[in-house]
A and B are shown apart, each in its own frame.
Chain A
Amino acid sequence: MTAPRKVGVFLCHCGGNISDVVDVRAVREFAERQEEVVLATDTRFMCSNEGVCRLQDEIRKRSLDGVVVACCTPKMYEDLFRGKAAEAGMNPYLLEIANVREQCAYPHRHEPEKATEKAKGLVLAQVEKVRKLRPLETKTAAVAPGVAVIGAGITGIHASLLLAELGHKVTLIEKSPTIGGNMARLVKTFPTDDCAMCTLSPKMNEAYNHENIELLTYAEVTSAKRTPGRFTLTVTEKPRFVTDACVGCNKCTEKCPVSTAKAPTQVPSEWEMGLAKRKAVYLPFPSALPQLWTIDADHCFYFQRGGKCRICAMVCPAKAIDFTMAAKERQVEVGAVIVATGFQEYDPAPLKHLGFGRHPNVVTQMQVARMLDSMGPTHGAVARRSDGKPATSVVMVQCVGSRGTPGDPLTHEYCSRVCCMVAVKHASLIRKAQPDTEVYILYNDLRAYGKGFEEYYTRSMTLGVKFVRGLPGSVRREGERLLVDVEDMLTGRRLEIPADLVVLSAAMEPPPVDGLLAALHLDKSPDGFVKEYHAKINPTETAIKGVYVAGCAQGPKDITDSISQAGAAAMSAAVFLGKGEMTLNPIVAEVDPALCRACDRCAEVCEFEGVRVDPERLLAVVDETACEGCGKCAVVCPTGAITVRQFRKEQVLASLDAMAPMAVMP
C-alpha cells in the first residue's frame, strides 16, 4: 500500500447562503473524523482572497495531496480552486467540489437537519472520491500560426480583415469564382436602403489586396486533418481554364456560342438567380474579384464536344485560355478555422399551392433583388417574367419554407429572421420606383425586431404598401395574371388578389456543406445549421477547439448580425492563436494494456474517433486530442481495460457508496 493520503476539507459558509441552513460546524466535525482527512476548516467565503490564501497555505503547510471544497456548484469555481491549488504545488486534479449550496442548502432550506445530514454525505462522497484520485498530467500543444476562413461572403471577408489587421496570416477560401457571397446580389440593404455593393465592394477590395490575406477562389476544402493545435486542410482549386494573364476584355464571353439564341445549351446565370443566361466562359458579375474569367467545363463546347470549339482561345488577345489546366490540391496548415459558409435560398417548388416552378411569374425575393438592380436582367424594372411587361400588382408571401409545422419534411421549423424586412424593403423600393404598382405583403407575423426596423416598416405603410395578415391557400393562373387566394385573418374576409408577380419570401437554409462539416467534425443543430458550442454564451465557438462559426453558417441572420458575429469569431480565433499553445484536457480515456484484448468495441461506440485498435500491437490506443471523455467505451469494454480518468469505476463508486443509506447513519 502507498502512504496514506493527506486530505484537506474546506467548508464555505457562502456568507450565510450555506451556513444559514447547514450546520457547518457539525459537518466540519464530521469531516475531521474521516479517514485520511488531516484538516477540516470553514471560511465565510472560500472564493474570497482570504479563502483562497487559506487553501494555498494549508496545501503548502501540510503537503496536502487531496482537497475537498464544500461550496457552490463546481461550475462556478472548480477551475479557480484547481488553479490556485496548482500554484500551491498540488496536482489540481486532486481537488473536488462538494456541491452543498445548489444541491443542499438551496433546495432543502426548509429542512435544516436533513440538509446538514445530506451535506455530510456530499462531503464524504468527495473525500472518498479524492482518496481514490490519481494525479493527472496536463499536456500542452503548440498552436500553429495562421487561420483559415471558409467562405468569402460578407462574414468571411469581415472576419478575415480583422484578423489580418491584427497581423495574422489568413487563408480565405471561397468555392465560387468570386468573393462577395450573397450580399453582392442584394442591391439595397435594410433599414437604410444603402447600396449593397457600395458597402461591400470596398471590403472586397481590401481583402483582395491585403498583404496578410491569401485568397483561394474557386476552391473547396476537401478534407481536413486535426492534430493538437494544428489543422491541415486539403484545398482543391478547381481549374478556371483561364490563366492570370487574363486582361478582362470580355471578348471571350462576347464570342462564346453557349446560351446564344441558336445554341442548344442555355445556362442559367447563378448570379442572376436564373433570371438571365450566362455564357460558358464568364465573369459572375462586373465587380467580381478576382477579375478573372472562368470556363464552366460542364457547359463549354470544347469539353462537351471533344475539343471542336476553341473560339474563346482564338479571340483572346492575352492568350489566357488554357484548356489543359487541371485541378490543383494544396495543403493549408493553420491553427484556427472560421466557418463562414453562409446560406442558400430555399427552393419553394415543393410547396405546390404556391406555383413556384410552374408559373414563371412566381419568383423569390432573391430574384426580385436582381430585378431591382439597374445593371440586372430587367434593368431595374419589376416585371412579369412571362412577357416582360411591368408588374402593376405584386403580391409577396411571407414565411415560405420557414416556420413550418414541426416535422414537415418540406419546410423548416425555424424563422429565417430576415424575410420580413426583405419584403418590406423590396415593397418600399417598388413603390418608390413604380408608384402605380400595388404591393401586398401577405404575412403571418411581422417581425421588425432590429434597430430601425420598426420605423422602416412604418415608413413602408406610408409609401402605400398593403399588409394582409394571412398566408395564401392557392396561387392560380387567370388569363395573363395570377390570382392569390387568401383569408384576411384580421377581418375574416376571403380575398382574391390579382397579381402580375407573386414574390415568395423563401427561407434561408444551410448550403450543401456536409462534406466540410464532416471533415472538421462539426455537428449540425436540428435546424441544419452549424452547431455552436453554446447557443447563448458561446455562439461563435464550436465543440472543436480552434474552429469557430460566424454568420448565416450558424443560423439565419441579417448583415448587421453577421458582421457582429464575424467580429466575435475573429476575436475568439485571435485569442486562441495569440496564446500560442493549448492545454489538452487530461480527463479522457486511458487503456490498461494488460487488460485490453483489442476487440474494437470501444472504437465502435466512439463518436469522435478518439480510440482505435492498433492492429500491430493488438491494443486500443486513445487519441487524447480527439477523445472527449464521455466514457461510452468504458461501459462497453468487456474487460474493463478502458476507463475515463477521474471517472474510473472505483472513483465513481466511492462517492456513490459514501452517500448510500448504510454509509451515512443519522
Chain B
Amino acid sequence: MSFEPAVAAFCCNWCGYSAADQAGAAKLEYPAGVRIVRLQCTGMVDPYFVLRAFERGYDGVLVVGCHFGSCHYKSGNHQAREQLDRVAPMLQALGIGQQRLLMTAASAAEGPVFAAKATEFVELVKRLGPSPLREVAR
C-alpha cells in the first residue's frame, strides 16, 4: 500500500477552522490524513505541540491561521510565526526536517485555499516519506 501521510493541522477557530469548514461545505476534496485540531488562535500553538505531534507519529504538522493583519486577536499569528521559527531548527537537528512543518493562512472565506494548501502539503510530505520517528512511535 502506498504511503499516506498523517498530518496534524492546528487551525485557529476564526480563519483556518472556518476555511476547512468552507472547503467541506463546498465538497472540495483533500487527503483524509489531515487531522484538524481546533484552537482559538494560532497564537496558542506551543512548540511542544509540534514536537508532540512528531513524537506520536504524525508525518507533518500544518498550522493554519488568519492572514497577517487580520488575526482575530490582532497578533496571535505573528506569535505563532515566531514560535514556529524557533521550533523549525530543532526539527532539522532531530533529523525530522523542517519541511515537515508549515504555517499558512486561509481566511474564513478561503475554503479552496485550505483544500489546496492541505493537498499540496500532504503531497510534499508524501515525497519526503514517512517521518523518521514514525517507526519509533509504533
Contact = CB atoms under 8 A, between A and B. Distances in A.
Interface of A: 73-75, 99, 101-104, 106-111, 114-115, 117-118, 121-122, 125, 523, 526, 543, 587, 605, 607-608, 628-632, 634-636, 644, 647, 649, 652-653, 655-657, 659-663
Contacts of A107: 23-24, 27-30, 32, 115
Interface of B: 6, 8, 18, 20-21, 23-25, 27-30, 32, 35-41, 43-49, 52-53, 56-59, 69, 72-76, 79, 83, 115, 134, 137-138
B58 A99 contact: no
A632 B44 contact: yes
B24 A635 contact: no
A118 B43 contact: no
B35 A118 contact: yes
Among B20, B24, B27, B69, find the residue whose CB has the most chain A CB atoms closer than 10 A: B24
B79 A655 contact: no
Contact of A73 (B21, B45, B58, B72): B21
Nearest to A543: B72
A661 B6 contact: yes
Given A103-B24, A526-B69, A653-B49, 7 more contacts: A103-B20, A107-B30, A107-B32, A109-B29, A632-B43, A635-B83, A662-B138
A542 to B, nearest CB: 13
Nearest to A632: B43
A523 B37 contact: no
A103 B36 contact: yes
A474 B120 CA distance: 49
B49 A659 contact: no
Given A102-B25, A106-B27, A523-B74, A655 B56 contact: no
Of residues B20, B47, B59, B115, which shows the largest number of chain A Cβ atoms within 10 Å of its Cβ?
A: B20
B29 A635 contact: no
Contact of B24 (A102, A110, A632, A657): A102
Residue from A108, A125, A526, A587 with most neighbouring chain B CB atoms (10 Å): A108
B45 to A, nearest CB: 7
Contacts of B40: 587, 629-631, 644, 647
Contact of B21 (A102, A118, A629, A631): A102
Given A106-B27, A656-B37, A630 B21 contact: no
B44 A647 contact: yes
11 contacts: A74-B38, A104-B32, A106-B24, A107-B29, A117-B32, A607-B73, A630-B40, A632-B44, A652-B39, A656-B8, A662-B137
Given A103-B20, A649-B46, A652-B37, A660 B73 contact: no
Nearest to A646: B40
Contacts of B24: 73, 101-103, 106-107
